[in-house]
Structure 1
Amino acid sequence: MRNVNLNILKFVELINNFCLSLSNIGLGDSYQLSDVSF
């Protein structure tokens, strides 16, 4: 069970990092789009 828990924690950490990178990219894109549209 310990190995499974460690794997789950690593998986969750990967998802969190992925979501953070996506949000950072999304914010950059939204700023660029707002600059272009306004």
Structure 2
Amino acid sequence: MEAPPLAAEETENAVIVRTFYRYRAAQDESVTRTYRAF
């Protein structure tokens, strides 16, 4: 009975991690563009 909640939590964490890395990648990309502008 404890498996479904754990699976749901795991999925939620995976989404958070994926969103975080996507945000970081976008940030790094904008920083790189800024440095290229100078």
Total equivalences in the alignment: 36
Residue identity matched to 1:4? L
Percent sequence identity over aligned pairs: 3
* 2:7 is equivalent to residue 9 of structure 1: no
TM-score (norm 2): 0.88
Q: Measure, in 1, the Cα distance between the counterparts of 2:11 and 2:35.
A: 36
Q: Measure, in 1, the Cα distance between the counterparts of 2:31 and 2:4.
A: 40
- Ranges in structure 1 where 5+ consecutive residues have no aligned partner: none
Q: Measure, in 1, the Cα distance between the counterparts of 2:17 and 2:35.
A: 26
TM-score (norm 1): 0.88
**Moved beyond 4 Å, runs of 4+:** none
- Ranges in structure 2 where 5+ consecutive residues have no aligned partner: none
Residue identity matched to 2:30? G
